[in-house]
Every structure is written in structure tokens, then in C-alpha cells.
Amino acid sequence: MSDPDNTDLHRTALERSIDNVESSDDFLAGQKDCQEGIPHKMCQSPDYHRGYACQYQHDANMDALTDG
């Protein structure tokens, strides 16, 4: 599918990940675990992994912005 206006380029990784979420509860659980410093849990749903990864990337981006 083409994107002539390049609108997808302006979407954040979080916005693109949310498009694929089937279970918001799992996504939010992954985010919460990451925020609380709980180690990433294997054998969870793809939505949990997406939530954890999005939060991890968000935290890394914020650290880079505030430490620079």
C-alpha cells in the first residue's frame, strides 16, 4: 500500500504498535512491568511484548533527551 503523503513517517513507534494490539490489557501489563523495573517476562502474549518494548524505547528516548 502506498503512502504518498508519508503520513506513516510521522507516526511514533507506539502509534504503529497500537495498531496491531489485540489485547490492551496485555499491552498495558507489559508497559507497567517495564515502568516498575520488573524484568521482561518470556512466554507472554505478543501484546505484552509490544507494551514492554514500547515503554522501554520511550524511556530510552527520554533518557537521551534529558542526559544530552
Compute the average pLDDT of residues 9-37.
78
Domain-embedded: residue 13: no
pLDDT digits (tens, 9 = 90+) for 25-47: 889 999 999 999 999 999 999 98
Compute the average pLDDT of residues 49-67.
90
- Domain span holding position 44: 21-67
Measured CA distances, 1 to 4, 6, 19, 26 (Å): 10, 12, 16, 29
Domain-embedded: residue 16: no
Cβ contact 13:54 at 8 Å: yes
Q: Which of 22, 4, 18 is nearest to 54 (CA)?
A: 18
Domain-embedded: residue 1: no
Domain-embedded: residue 42: yes
Domain-embedded: residue 5: no
What is the DSSP secondary structure assignment for residue 4, as one 8-state letter? T
Domain-embedded: residue 46: yes
Cβ contact 51:31 at 8 Å: yes
Domain count, the chain: 1
Half-sphere exposure of 18 (CA within 13 A, CB side): 8
